[in-house]
Chains A and B, each alone.
Chain A
Amino acid sequence: MRIRGGIAAVVMMALAATAGTTTPGAAQDKTLTIGVLGPLSGGAASYGVELVRGAEMRAEEINKGGGLKVGSDVYRIKLVSYDHKALAADAATAANKLVFQDKVKYIIGNAVGATCNAVQTVTEPEKVLFSFVCWGTSNLGPDKPHSFRAMLSQWEVAEPFYRWVKEKHPQVKRVAAISPNDTSGKDTNTAVVKALKGLGFEVAADEYYERGTKDFYPILTKILATKPDMLDVAAAPPGEAGLILKQARELGFKGSKGWTAGVNPVTLVGIAGKEAAEGVWSPANINVKSDFVSATVRRFGEEYEKRYKEVPGVIAVANYAAFDVFTKAMQDARSLDTDKVLVALTQKPFDTVWGRLVLGGKETYGIDRQFLYPVVISEIRDGKVVDIAQVLPAGLKK
């Protein structure tokens, strides 16, 4: 009995600890509740956790600065974030809870492709504005006017990136792309292959692996047998991208390396090791510690690391920016009404941590709901991300 009593005590303590974290401070101002969704446990947890943290930091900044002034009202922002465990059905239930229980009109942040489709079945009919970092062409469209992608996708990035590769590194002729076998992976490889073909590259391999794979020797043996000049770990998340590069090096790969949809170079370098990560080009990597990023990003990075003891990846930055954009649009619209905010969102550019940001993408998706901001092409040198060029996605040039 004694030992069991011990466990019970530990569990009670855990329960008490968690109970404490859920009570937000009381506020006299009006409250604006904003929802965040994402996988917060299990294998994809790092995406969801970054989404929540990015939102949390911006919300806190606003609250500390006296709240969000919309018209004549001042709102304190309250975040409600739910875990959907990367399951589509669970995401629909979680979205229902946000929309109908918490009466949320804005859901800023979600990841994992299939869950976005499920959430949209709830948000679109209710005119809830929903922004996400899921990739996949099916998530944006004229039939989904209330949905936004808050991060550049490979449809914006792949073409300018490979145009740059072609110009600066003409020795690269044959490119192999490898991605996880899910919506993001399929979409990324498709965009990469389209860009490659359009620019006259040869596609050496267009391969997919099951998410969670650790041993890439089998698939790499097959890919390397096609003798590519460049290996693009396209939509692989940092941990898996790191393993691919490390194992490719072990198998004798010496060519160029790219990461079209890079999200967190620090983790990649850590896992691949400095040697295997040397020379990785990416149009999406962001290293908040780099000397090249703006002061605001660096400050964000420092603050983030202080709070969470981890280095932020691109998803954290993207959701921080998305939060910024949506709250600014509310102020511009002088209203919380989603129809009015929707108009404000598409009217003028926003000044964000990314730099100048507009909503575009009509050519690709048929509607301007894709966040467009400058693409910084970087190279990993001696374990550090060095920004070497800035290019603009097609829609941002206007």
Chain B
Amino acid sequence: MELSRSGVPSAGVALIALAAAALPLVTRDSYYLDVATTILMNLTLTMSFRLQVSTGQINMAHISFMGIGAYASALLVTRVGLSFWATLWIGPLVAAALAVPIGSVALRVSGPYYFLITFAFSEVVRLFFNNFFEGLFGGPSGLVGIPKPDRLLGLAFDGKLELYGLMAVLCVGVALALVRLDHSRFGLTAGAIRQADLLAETLGVNVFRYKLTTFVLGSFIAGLAGVFFAHFRRVLHSSDFGLEPMVLLVVFTVIGGTGSVWGPVVGTILMTIASELLRELHHYEILVFGAVLILTMLFAPEGLVALPGTARRLLRRLRGRAPAAAGVGLAP
């Protein structure tokens, strides 16, 4: 990772932008646009999740901040009458503001403890939306009747295409910011923390503050995705921000690979498409997915993005003892 050369990462973002812009030229099928919008929304979530993974945090409450942004925006629009274009910024700010105390508490512990305390936080948030202030959050029935984004600069956002376009702009913006961050000094230090946090700390890096910064920044981005989600789906339910969708985010990210920003991109796109293709299989879908997860982690432990390198290594190893392996394989 050479610091100054911004050409490679920017080219990657440009590629995403180009692909996103090209899709409507290929198809305007509502279903494809819907899936593509979902992918872009998930991309902002997985990329910001990876930002936290890059400093060694597996933040299981990431999706809660999406929920906080979503509920905040939905309520501000329906109850207070604010414009979507205002809550598009207020929602993420609310999420980020709540991330400061929650992150400060959670980051006092690390490793599996951090994982479990963030899981506890996410359940607290989900159960809160589900069981408290029912008049406000809709309780177990969910929040319905959330309007689509209002007009902006003469543009109406009532069609799938416009919503897709909006999400594409948000996603490319987030990707650009995250790629720059990853290839900047900030990203360098973040990676150093992941490799040896104590060494970084003794060299003057305030590890806590770095982690908190990525936590809050990640939560802001999750909140942004949440605001969009609320006005795109127009129905909110606490389970949309529970363990299951969170687990999927982790799966997307890790299957793609956490080594670079492109891992989550590959993972999210491939897995979302695969899951749409397998939707008909009912519970066989999770059977297949489960098997894929296990095999991927066994044969491509660094994720799909790192697969070419892993495969080369594996091939070399296999070639070294190929005859023996064949013999063993045939044994009863």
Contact = CB atoms under 8 A, between A and B. Distances in A.
Q: Are A and B in contact, CB atoms below 8 Å, in the complex?
A: yes
Interface of A: 1-2, 4-5, 7-8, 11, 14-15, 18, 21-22, 40-42, 45, 48, 52, 80-83, 85-89, 92-94, 96-97, 99-101, 113-114, 117-118, 121, 136, 138, 181-183, 185-187
A67 B21 CA distance: 45
B283 A15 contact: no
A40 B229 CA distance: 24
A396 B295 CA distance: 57
Given A89-B229, A94-B279, A100-B30, A15 B325 contact: no
A314 B192 CA distance: 59
Given A2-B328, A97-B31, 20 more contacts: A1-B328, A2-B331, A14-B287, A18-B281, A18-B284, A18-B288, A22-B281, A52-B282, A83-B279, A83-B282, A87-B237, A89-B245, A92-B235, A93-B34, A93-B276, A100-B34, A101-B29, A113-B140, A114-B140, A117-B235
A273 to B, nearest CB: 29
Interface of B: 29-32, 34-35, 38, 130-131, 139-142, 144, 229, 233-237, 239-240, 244-245, 276, 279-288, 291, 294-295, 298, 325, 328-329, 331
Nearest to A101: B31
A41 B131 CA distance: 25
Contacts of A42: 244
A318 to B, nearest CB: 20
By CB atoms of chain B within 10 A, which of A21, A97, A181 has the most? Answer: A97
Contacts of A15: 288, 291
Contacts of A85: 244
A4 B34 contact: no
Given A18-B288, A45-B283, A121-B235, A87 B245 contact: yes
A176 B90 CA distance: 44
| Shortest Cβ-Cβ A-B pairs, 10 listed | A100-B31, A114-B237, A40-B282, A41-B283, A100-B30, A88-B237, A11-B291, A18-B284, A101-B31, A182-B140
A136 B30 CA distance: 28
A48 B281 CA distance: 13
A89 B282 contact: no
Contacts of B325: 1
A182 B237 CA distance: 10
Nearest to B298: A4
Contacts of A92: 34, 233, 235
A114 to B, nearest CB: 4
A82 B283 CA distance: 10
Contacts of B237: 87-88, 114, 117-118
Contacts of B244: 42, 85, 87
A21 B325 CA distance: 34
A186 B135 CA distance: 13
A5 B326 CA distance: 11
Contacts of B294: 7
A97 to B, nearest CB: 5
Nearest to A10: B291
A248 to B, nearest CB: 23
A45 B295 CA distance: 26
Contacts of B240: 87-89
Contacts of B29: 100-101
Contacts of A48: 282
A56 to B, nearest CB: 12
A157 B327 CA distance: 69
A95 to B, nearest CB: 9
Contacts of A97: 31, 35, 276, 279
A243 B269 CA distance: 43
A241 to B, nearest CB: 18
B140 A186 contact: yes
A65 B149 CA distance: 50
B157 to A, nearest CB: 15
Contact of B130 (A83, A93, A101, A181): A181
A114 B139 CA distance: 10
Given A87-B239, A87-B240, A101-B31, A41 B144 contact: no
Nearest to A126: B30
A83 B283 CA distance: 8
B141 A113 contact: yes
B295 A11 contact: yes
B317 to A, nearest CB: 10
By CB atoms of chain B within 10 A, which of A86, A114, A121 has the most? Answer: A114
A83 B282 CA distance: 5
Nearest to B245: A87
A5 B130 contact: no
B299 to A, nearest CB: 8
B131 A181 contact: yes
B236 A82 contact: no
A73 B196 CA distance: 72
